[in-house]
Amino acid sequence: MHFYCHFSYAASFNNPNLEFRQAQEYNACMTLARRKPEEGFESALAWSKEGGGAPAEHCIAIALIQLNKFPEAALRLEKAATLINKGEESLAAELLGQAAQAWYQADRLDFAYLLQSRALNLDPQNIDLFIDRGVILVESGKYQEALADFNQALTLSPQKIEALVYRGTVYRILDQLDDAKKDINQALLINSHYPEALLERGILKRLSQDNEGARQDWIEVLKLAKDTPTGELAQRNIEKLDINLPSNTEN
């Protein structure tokens, strides 16, 4: 099972600690890295050699991610984290978390877990880091440890919808269906149009033999998120429903 996830590589250096000129260079570099990654990589590399520091390394990493060179990107993000000034631990943690995401994309869950843990040591109140590490643990089949991370995220932010959906999904995998339904229903109270929650509710309905209810939830997912991994899962589940595969095949 591939756990749908919301990893991102958001810009880390749009903050007052950058001088105006450096901030302009960083923004230009990131734009080029995303739009024309090969050119962006060369530009960021030159900037790094001129002393661009962590912002330049981050830009190099984003270009490499766009080029699907995830291990190389992860190493650059780790390097960027080492260049962060003392007192900015949350920024270093964000970069380590992004490095973990890159290792995850490279199917190196061991490296991803270690870096997420390092990031959490630096920033133990970071909700997104707990969620991301939980996703990695799920992919590693370590469901109880994943639940602990999602529980911690929800202790820090009880209305965090991603954590509710992920925890509900793990409960479903563990056949704790009442707990799963409780989390998914709570998520849909927060946002009734959240595609991942609707996808999961459809799976729970299918497991309860409510085929028509499952179909309606998955059709709604397609309306909201057709060209996304979540939409693709909904489409596959509808197809399985149409050929009457057993309910435990939806993932």
How many percent of the chain have pLDDT more than 70? 89
**pLDDT tens per residue, range 8-18:** 555 466 555 55
Q: Which pLDDT value is given to residue 111?
A: 97
Q: Which pLDDT value is given to residue 1?
A: 39
How many percent of the chain have pLDDT more than 90? 83
Distance CA 189, CA 166 (A): 16
**pLDDT tens per residue, range 84-142:** 988 889 999 999 999 999 999 999 999 999 999 999 999 999 999 999 999 999 999 99
Task: Compute the average pLDDT of residues 31-36.
Answer: 95
Euclidean distance between the first and the last CA atom of the chain, given in angstroms as a whole number: 6
Q: Which pLDDT value is given to residue 226?
A: 92
DSSP assignment string, 161-181: HHHHHHHHHHHHHTT-HHHHH
SS (H, E, C) 53-77: HHHHHHHHHHHHHHCCCHHHHHHHH
Q: Which pLDDT value is given to residue 188?
A: 98
Task: Compute the average pLDDT of residues 46-56.
Answer: 93
Residues whose CB is less than 8 angstroms from the CB of residue 218 and which lie 6 or more positions away in sequence, other chains included: 198, 199, 202, 234, 235, 237, 238, 241
Task: Compute the average pLDDT of residues 213-239.
Answer: 96
Q: Which pLDDT value is given to residue 249?
A: 45
Q: What is the pTM assigned to this prediction?
A: 0.88
Higher pLDDT pick, 220 / 5:
220
Mean of pLDDT over the chain:
91
Task: Compute the average pLDDT of residues 170-178.
Answer: 97
Q: Which pLDDT value is given to residue 243?
A: 84
pLDDT at residue 3 is higher than 70: no
Confidence grade of residue 29 (pLDDT, cut at 50, 70, 90): very high
The CB density around residue 241, as the number of other CB atoms within 10 Å, is: 19
Q: Decide if 40 contacts 32 (C-beta within 8 A).
A: yes
pLDDT at residue 4 is higher than 90: no
Q: Which pLDDT value is given to residue 14?
A: 53
